Structure 1
Amino acid sequence: MTKHVVFIHGLWIHSAAWKPWQDLFEQKGYTTVAPGWPGDLDTVEATRANPDGLNDQGIAEICHHYADIIEGFDEKPIVVGHSFGGLIAQELLANDLVAAAVAIDPAPIKGVKVLPFSQLKSGFPVLGNPANKSRTVSLNVKQFKYAFGNVLSDEESNALHAAWTIPGPGRPLFEDAAANFVRNSPAEVDTHTAVRGPLLLTSGTEDHTVPKVVTVEVSKLYADNTASVTEYHEYEGKGHSLTLDAGWREVADDVLAWLAAKGF
């Protein structure tokens, strides 16, 4: 079984934030990579200084970017994605490009009908202005605190904001918001018939950006696919920062245990 792992970050977070996960997984015998989205630069500072490469990058472009990277592997890797990275992970898995996927507090796929207020508020810095569809948008400290750090102290939330945030392209949020009204939406995933490797969906019960009710509904979309394994795990009291904050190790250890149980 493959021991290669590809980590995929979400909107507003640089791929370098996966470094503690990579170190842990490599200690357990995996090889890892954490490529940025198309347009990301090598460091947080460089991407902040010149984010224009992210302008107009949408879900399809990001999926193709990771599919191209995966083509270079000698066997299908495992993919672990957070937030929009979790949506991308599901797309890659449904297309049988990866051996297994973990989607941590994933952005909703097409078919999810619920739209909690906190999700709307978290996305408003982008969705509040239609011009943001083709450009990048940054979260300020207060916006990050609401969307990511709502269960953290101000000190920890502000430190994570300073360390890892980058401008994010607006297009994926607009595409996701309109998914249920668009034919052939890039946020559509074959949840019903795809014969694929195992999928783990997780949710933090206090997540504002992707509330628990959203991920529960995603898991229900997979319920009739009896040919493939889909499992759901919940983290009591955790928010959207669960891959970044001081409690990240609990989540990472659970992912490792799940992979081991699946034979990876």
Structure 2
Amino acid sequence: MPAPTPVVFIHGLWIHSDSWNEWSELYRQAGYDPVAPGWPGEYDSVAATRQHAAAVANHGIEDITASYRRVIDGFTVKPVVVGHSFGGLIAQKLLAEQYASAAVAIDPAQIRGVKPVPPAQLRSGWPVLSRPGNRKKAVSLTREQFRYGFGNAVPQAESDELFDRWTIPGPGRPLFEASAANFSRNSPAAVDTRTHDRGPLLIISGGQDHTVPQSVAKAAYKLYAHSAATTDYQSFPDRGHSLVFDHGWHEIADATLAWLKRQGV
């Protein structure tokens, strides 16, 4: 029998890689070989990462993407990549660069060329962007900031539990890079959306998302209009930014598995 297809899960800003544990088990049961590496400087546990916050500071989009390229270089076949938030941006980069056979970008951070900047997104990023010095620092969310940016579509008690369980300090640099992407031709947030020879891509959005509002995900999807490669879009109208690790994660994960099956991956 052929070896199972590897799957690389890529988390987003402020969330630990262990948040993919249930996805990994589900994908393993479906016949895949999943891994969920952390970002540069991230420790093996939430507690350890919180204690060593400085280790994650000043890592930008390219630095983080390069760390996943090195993981993929260790495989004998191209993996599927599944990313959430900034992980969704990175998943698109890896797919365009031929590092992946297929990609799923869930509530992906804005790539270069995405123009909508909804007020909710500005408010979600304000804890970092309000202070230029945060570019080189690690920044932590408060419980209230997490509630607005991630947990607004779930009960308060669940939002607080998710905050306690999964949040870690995150580097400020990726947010500054993404917010300035349309003003820099060589932005690390740039993705080749016109290439025809990449694998299939699915973009998923949450209709209640404040951190990456649905209009941002739709704008990214529209940038792929000139590519002959498969690009699909799926919306979950009642879901917020915590959709991959809150109580409804299984619905999202099942949708990604069904899509991959349709693609023959």
Query: Normalising by the residue count of structure 2, what TM-score does the alignment of the two structures yield?
Result: 0.98
* Residue number in structure 1 paired with 2:110: 108
> What's the C-alpha RMSD, in Å, of the aligned pairs?
0.9
Q: CA separation in 2, counterparts of 1:155 and 1:259? A: 34
Unpaired runs of 5+ residues, structure 2, are none
Q: Quote how far apart the aligned CAs of 1:52 are.
A: 1.3
- Map Cα deviations across residues 8-63 of structure 1 (whole Å, 9 max, x no partner): 00000000000000011111111110000011010000000002111110000001
Classify the secondary structure of the residue corresponding to 1:79. Answer: strand
Letter of the structure 2 residue corresponding to residue 260 of structure 1: K
Q: Quote how far apart the aligned CAs of 1:236 are.
A: 1.4
- Map Cα deviations across residues 83-135 of structure 1 (whole Å, 9 max, x no partner): 00000000000000110000000001000111000000000000010000001
| C-alpha contact 1:95 1:194 (8 A) present in aligned 2 | no
Classify the secondary structure of the residue corresponding to 1:162. Answer: helix
| C-alpha contact 2:5 2:77 (8 A) present in aligned 1 | no
- Map Cα deviations across residues 207-244 of structure 1 (whole Å, 9 max, x no partner): 00000000101000000112x11000000110000001
Q: CA separation in 1, counterparts of 2:46 and 2:57? A: 16
* Residue number in structure 2 paired with 1:252: 253
* Residue number in structure 2 paired with 1:225: 227
Match of 1:57 among 56, 59, 75: 59
Q: Quote how far apart the aligned CAs of 1:194 are.
A: 4.7
- Map Cα deviations across residues 162-219 of structure 1 (whole Å, 9 max, x no partner): 0000000000000000000012000000001252000000000010000000010100
Q: CA separation in 1, counterparts of 2:197 and 2:40? A: 28
Letter of the structure 2 residue corresponding to residue 253 of structure 1: D
| C-alpha contact 1:39 1:53 (8 A) present in aligned 2 | yes
Q: Does 1:211 align with 2:221?
A: no
* Residue number in structure 2 paired with 1:242: 243
Q: CA separation in 1, counterparts of 2:195 and 2:34? A: 29
Structure 1 residue runs of 4+, over 6 Å off?
none
* Residue number in structure 1 paired with 2:97: 95
Query: Percent of aligned pairs with the same residue?
Result: 56
Classify the secondary structure of the residue corresponding to 2:187. Answer: coil
Classify the secondary structure of the residue corresponding to 1:48. Answer: helix
Q: CA separation in 2, counterparts of 1:255 and 1:3? A: 15
Q: Aligned pairs, how many?
A: 263
Query: Normalising by the residue count of structure 1, what TM-score does the alignment of the two structures yield?
Result: 0.98
Classify the secondary structure of the residue corresponding to 1:243. Answer: coil
